[in-house]
A and B are shown apart, each in its own frame.
Chain A
């Protein structure tokens, strides 16, 4: 509700900090969870398609 407000509520971090945090969380999950998962799928499908 306060996101589109012209003022920043005292409990909100600045947008830079917020996106930095979201970015590092998503980057971490991408590197350690999503990427291995994608590899599993790609390797699995490649074996199936090659045959």
Chain B
């Protein structure tokens, strides 16, 4: 009723894969371990690795100079900066407000709580292009919100801010749905223990609750970030798509494909993939660190 199957499946898979890889060395006592590992690797190979390898093969058609020219042009660099910057920012906004939303949904009672809970999943249900058009209409200078921001000299739609807005919308369910079940399972007696030891509510939150939910919060953040990075449909309607200013990297790739420059498109794809992988790896390491300790800090 409150956890979207898709999200938990994704996060579970993300956790399960590294573990399986490391225990390959030892002989396992788990029955069916060989078969399930084989299936996992096969599945992962067909769905993820082979397409990625094909992209590598395409990009390798380029010489080193051509690769550098395609991936490190000023226009490409600006697009990376926007894509990663907006995805990280939107995921951060979602982390903060997603945590608050999950907290409110688990801990408090207020009118229409069920409706609000159901609303959280809507960004997944709405076709992204529709979302993009709707957001552009609201945040345009003559839109409902846009006309409030305009007198302050703040343009949202058709600027990099618009990209951030679209990606925040797209990634909204992830943090809520990863944190919510963990918060629900948190046993109250630990919080009572903290209170009986003289901790204020804020101290209890920071020292006891936060460390317990930090790993799930980071999972949600990583998912929202990854989702935002690849988002195309909604962004192109609200971004304005000005090269060097509000053009995202996926749009640059589409542009290259439309000119039949498959190798160039693959090259930019490779660069994005590499950076995304490094960032996700970083989040993963941080998560592991948070899981082990994190009481003090």
Contacts and interface: CB of A to CB of B under 8 A. Distances in A.
Contact of B134 (A11, A18, A39): A39
B103 A35 contact: no
B144 A35 contact: yes
Contacts of B126: 36-37, 40
Contacts of B110: 22
B182 interface: no
Interface string B118-130: 0110110010001
Given A33-B123, A33-B169, A37-B134, A11 B192 contact: yes
A36 B100 contact: no
Given A22-B108, A40-B126, A28 B101 contact: yes
Given A29-B116, A33-B172, A37-B122, A24 B135 contact: no
B245 interface: no
A13 B103 CA distance: 12
A8 B14 CA distance: 41
A3 B135 CA distance: 39
B138 interface: yes
Interface of A is mostly: helix
Contact of B172 (A3, A32, A39): A32
A11 to B, nearest CB: 5
Interface string A17-51: 11001101110110111111101100100000000
A28 B96 CA distance: 10
Given A13-B201, A29-B119, A35-B145, A40 B134 contact: yes
B212 interface: no
B104 to A, nearest CB: 4
A37 B109 CA distance: 24
A21 B104 contact: yes
A24 B130 CA distance: 25
Contacts of B104: 21-22, 25-26
Nearest to B173: A33
A47 B144 CA distance: 19
Nearest to A17: B201
B101 A29 contact: yes
Nearest to B104: A25
Contacts of A18: 108
Interface of A: 3, 10-11, 13-14, 17-18, 21-22, 24-26, 28-29, 31-37, 39-40, 43
Interface of B: 97, 100-101, 103-105, 108-110, 116, 119-120, 122-123, 126, 130-131, 134-135, 137-138, 144-145, 165, 168-169, 172, 188, 191-192, 195-196, 201
10 contacts: A11-B201, A21-B103, A22-B108, A25-B100, A26-B104, A32-B165, A33-B123, A33-B169, A36-B135, A36-B138
